[in-house]
Amino acid sequence: MKILIFAGSTRQQSFNRRLARVAAEMAQSSGAQATLLELGELDIPMYNADLEARGTPADVRRLKQLMWEHPAWIVCTPEYNGSYTALLKNTIDWASSPIAGDADWSDGVKPFRDTVVGMLSASNGRLGGLRAQSHLAPLLTNLECWLAPRAYALSGAASAFDDHGALVAEEHRQGVRAVVEQVLWAAQRLHGPAA
């Protein structure tokens, strides 16, 4: 099973980028083919319909293809002002925008439809990013994703990782692993050979 994992942050010391790496390692050790996507490595401008009319950026096409090729995702969302980040919203806005005159990408929902998505978040606050998850969930379901019922919010993130980026507490490892395993289980049933 191919699983795409990304964080809605480009900050060098981002808790959510660390969490994405942990999730990718867990998915890999579960036998999945994990792709860790760094959104900061894509050249994607702020969404603007006038800009899009001049041509969809090459990295947006690359993003759409990458999303479509992975029937399972883990999204690690930071929480800014009680919601998800502008980076994450911009990424989704571009990926869901149809490309006029392109038979492959004339359907904006194609990169999202029937994808099984698990949500993780990390924050130094007590809620661990739960409010960001609550805002992200309806956006993903509106794009016809299958949202895993299990999610995990990591609170106290500043002290949750060791110097190598691993989670210190077994409780936190179990919380992340449960989301990864549920997403892989559901995606296998929806997209696997026996489905």
Q: Which three-class secondary structure state does DSSP give residue 192?
A: coil
Can you give the pLDDT at residue 156?
Answer: 96
The sign of the torsion formed by the CA atoms of 164, 7, 16, 27 equals: negative
Total structural domains within the chain? 1
Can you give the pLDDT at residue 192?
Answer: 79
Amino acid letter, 147: L
Q: What is the pLDDT of residues 146-166, one digit of tens each?
A: 999 999 999 999 999 999 999
DSSP 8-class letter at 124:
S
- CATH number of the domain residue 71 falls in: 3.40.50.360
Give me the mean pLDDT over the 50-63 stretch.
95
- Contact between 115 and 183 under an 8 Å Cβ cutoff? The reply is no
The tokens describing 13, both together, are 């010391």
Residues of the domain holding 9: 2-191
Beta carbons within 10 angstroms of residue 8's beta carbon = 27
Can you give the pLDDT at residue 161?
Answer: 97
Q: What is the pLDDT of residues 106-123, one digit of tens each?
A: 999 999 999 999 999 999
Q: Which three-class secondary structure state does DSSP give residue 131?
A: helix
Can you give the pLDDT at residue 175?
Answer: 98
β-bridge mates for residue 6, sequence order: 37, 75
- Contact between 132 and 77 under an 8 Å Cβ cutoff? The reply is yes
Amino acid letter, 105: W
pTM of the model: 0.95
Q: Assess whether pLDDT exceeds 60 at residue 194.
A: no
What's the whole-number average pLDDT of the chain?
96
The tokens describing 96, both together, are 């869901």
Q: Assess whether pLDDT exceeds 50 at residue 195.
A: no
Give me the mean pLDDT over the 72-99 stretch.
97
Amino acid letter, 21: R
Can you give the pLDDT at residue 77?
Answer: 98
